[in-house]
Structure 1
Amino acid sequence: MSGKASAYPRSNVLVLGSNSVYSLVPSTLIAQADALLDRHRLEEAVDLADRQLRKLQGRVTVGPEEVRGAPHRCVRVTELRQADELRYVYQRLGFQCLAETRFDDAGRHFFAGHLDPRVLIRLYPSLCGALFDEDETIDVFSGVAEHMPPEDSIDDIIRNYSPHLAPNTATAPAAVELRAVLALAAHDMLRAFLRKWRGARREGAARANQAVDTVLARLYAESGETAELLALVEGPNDVVLGELEPTLVRGAHFDALCRLYRAHGQDARLLDVWSKLVTGEWADGDVRDPLSSMFALLAEKRDRALAQRWGLWLLKHDQDRAMKLLLTVGLGKRSAKGSTADESALLQRIQEADPGAGTQFLENLVLNRRNADPDWHDQLAHVYVDQLLACLADEATSKLWRAKAAAFASSRTDAPYLAYFAATTPDSDAKRTRVRTLLFLQGSGLYAPAR
């Protein structure tokens, strides 16, 4: 952290002696507050700061946030200096209270002193994770930095504050309970401070805003405050996604995770979360119909690679919608020069995943897209013939068709047999298979009939 020097008072009266120069200067707010704090007269220091704040607010035409924050053209230089002095005093009060584990008071003073939230967050290593770079610096008043607690974390502050109890401070039941209560109070203070900071968001404080949003979201997730968590991630935020992801997964806050992925354009990760919710590997009742959400996103994005990858996976969950997705998004524009390598690879993958879906996809390529690849026509001819032979293996179907052939032979109709068969045979899967096969074999000249 880098130190920020406070302003010195100015004097208009100088007294010259034979061997010295004397200056008559007013006792500054900082000098008075430091004297009180050095004598541990905290309440008097708080009263001094509050009186000075009210006095300063009464002399300016802007609100307290402007007094504590960015310069305003109506605030004179002197008043800006006094505002800086107030920030110094409140920050010193905050760290004094923090060292004494008076966390609620510390949080209020930190906010009044406009403390950079990163200074406070650094004391919670389990919450800040890798948010900060090793060489990242934060401006702090030099006088404040000198009085900051030497401990590296809130836990160390609490541990050092714990009174000695038999048999020892580490294991005495009363000491253990006290540390737990203080740790909870410390987290409550941080949550309240971050909420206030977020409500009075500062412009030009991108790094601070990232830290505030990420840590506050982590606190909400770990404490089960789902409504607050969703409100944070749903609105404008500066959450560092990589830092928050593990916490959301660990706490099964998948609705919040999905919203963040959607906001950050992480479509692949979003689909992966939804797929785990579909299979039951993960569960979150707040995520409604993840399967339909997958289809909707893939149709909206029209990303061929994503559609092909997830369309194959979706075949076993909703074949009709998956086939529609593969045919509309998974395929590119129709080629007039035969099959493409991409189409061939996709067909093979679909056939391996689901033979029935593979046949449907092959039919679309040959019949609807009118692809002239001889291999595909040959494949489809073999599929249709195999289906027709399977129908003939049924005795009732075979008997019916023989009767139809005999009736046609004895009739005097001029219609071709296929038309007669289609008009007089009751509708069934077998009838449709025979008609489809005959129409294809008559209409296509690209398959190899000798095989």
Structure 2
Amino acid sequence: MDLLPFTQTQVYEKQAAPKEKDKSSIQCLECYDQNVYMGSKDATVQHLILPRNTNGDWSPVQNKTREGRARRLGSRNPVAQLRAVPLFNHLLVLWDRSITAPLFEVCDSSLAAQTNCIEMVTSSSRKKVIQIHVVGVDRWEVVKEVPVLQDPVALAVDGTSLCVATWDRYLLCDIQSGSSEKLFPHNHNRQHVIVTSVGQGEFLLNGPESLGMFVMKTGICQRPPLQWPQDVLAARVCFPYILTLQPHVLSVYSMLDQQHKQTVSLSGAKGLLSTSDGVLVFTERDIFSLRLVPFEDQIQALVEHERVEEALLLLNGVQNHHPLDSYKELQKATTCRAGFVCFQREAFSEAREFFIKGELDPREMIHLYPDMQSCLCEDFQSQFDQVNKSRDLQVLWQADRNTFHRYLVFLGDFLRAVRSTGRGLKHSMEVDCALLRLYIELEDNENLQQLVAFPDGCTLNHCVPVLEEHNRFFALGSLYQTHGKHNDAIKTWVKIADGFYKDPSCSDVYGHIVWTLSQLKDRDTMWKFADWTLQRNQKVGVEIFIKCPPDDRVETQDVLAFLEKYPLALLMYLEFLINDLNSEVSTERHHSRLALTYVTQTLRGEEETESDLRATRGKLQQLLWESKFYDVSTVYGRVGSTNLHIEKAILLSRTGKHSQALQMLVHQERDLQAAEAYCSRVAQGQDSQSRQGLLLILLQIYLSSEDLASAAVDLLNNNPLLFAAEKVIQLLPDSWSVHLVSHFLVGSLRETFHHRQMARLQKALAQVELLRHKLNWVSLMIYFTFFTPQFARNLNGELMHTSCIGFSA
């Protein structure tokens, strides 16, 4: 498609005549609708009727321009200017050199509708003024004059604003107020002075240094100047373009980026005339039409020639001046086309932004990739002609995998970006199926798993064969799960864990199965795979019951019955009920069962490591000490015939049989430290007398055996403050020397003396406190006895005893 913004057509050619007789050359033009009025050198006005096709566009290629009436004016002088006045169905003609107005322009104002008259601005050749006229069919009246410093050589009107060029500068004038403002000077001769209206209170002037200057009616410039040739004869604005005329060439510039866009060769060009959709250019014998190419076609041509930025600039620039009915759709289509251009250049970041801004249907992008087209429905029809681009990707797919890989990465970025948008949600099936294939192709297991692990638009009939073909079995299980097929999901993962499927994408398939079963509301599937889970690993498998959501736990009795054949799992589940869940249902039964399970686990010592055995026995002892809910007799019946002497001692302590418990620790367990610890643990939270009593029992046990005499001595010497000396002395054998228990005796006596001294001191302090209170009481009594007044005056002023005053009152 041609990139030129205007198409050139010759609409009129004057018949050739001998040069010496050719006095009818074209001097000026005026146009209204398809009517063109041509003023000639011999004072003739010729009416031309341009052809029009069914769409209202000029089409001189199909039909020739017809000549209407011609009228010769009274003088033989050239016609200098023509202006159509549709209100009167008249032409205003300036042709006689003797007339006092060498320049004139017709104003667009509200006066016409109110008075059936128009306003016209003229320059005077006799005095330096601008005159404003009110003109009707039978009326011609000067209503205002605006003085200027020099003779006007060019002028243009826009509403109430008037821009005037004199011999050396430009002026701005206000028609209503008559005020004027100097602009900038110029050094052009009369032929090259240019003043033309741009519209909306803006004028285009031929400024100094061959600059096209845009000046608002306020005197400021809102656009950058345009650099144009020195010998410009005329300039017109056909937004967003500026057309400048030279004797042999017409140049087109853009007002949006100030760049040259088109050149038209014309021999002997004399002037320009603006029309509704372009300009008319005339020479002495010919008239040419430069018609503006529809903006849609211009934009499409720019995009196809990969001039993306220019196309978008044009699209945005014309919106406010030429609103298009389908602007939004055109904007989207243009932006998407720009994205395809960037896509071809591998400018993926820009392409992604264009596609998102243009709301590209994601299926259009999927359609370009050969291996992704199976994700689309058979009835999908592309709205873009991307045959060449599709063929390029087909070649890359087969010949240049590295480059094609970059295109695949872009596709993933784009589809992820639009997946949550309106377009992506509308076509979620195609988008998600394409993403699944893409992640497999890129070996992106992380994104693949994230896609299938959450609700998606993937269809099973399309995606399951793809995942199976590429051995993505873990992702296949996740896809089954998100589509509600829990049994198929777990079955697929079990085959991975058992080695039937090879898929290294998940390092802990078994753990994932356990976690999934723990969160599963489908109880049938959970119980179906519970045996397999616990047979593989009781410690981990029991989590399917432990890590259930709090509001969706499996019935406790069902779990306990099921775990009977899995002792380690049963133990961990009971620990969970008691320690973590704090179950208050059947508390005694659960605590007792846990204690018995600990006992069983401890007695099976050959099946456990030494560290595990110590840990289990420690938990058993802690439970026996701290729990108040287990059945002591039931547990003792289980450990009574075993060598778990510490545990039996703890159970005996629960029934108050401390002497028997200590006997067992000393003589059967032979652990004196355990015996002493027993005394401390039992007496914890009680008064000192309780611990003294337990230690005396232990001392008696030590003293009853000659082998434990040294233990008795150590017990006394290490705890002198915890024994009453008078009681201990009665128990000591006569054969013991004082020196043997001297440390105990000294410590005990010192403690006894200390207690006595402290008692005396407390008694003395109490007596002092009592004496202080007595002193305060006596002082108070003396004050009331000696310092309280006995006489006072009554209301009448009479002196009376205080007791009498109360009586008389």
TM-score, normalised via structure 2 length: 0.29
Structure number with higher relative contact order (C-alpha < 8 Å, ≥ 6 residues apart): 1
TM-score, normalised via structure 1 length: 0.47
Larger radius of gyration: 2
Answer 1 or 2: which has greater strand percent: 2
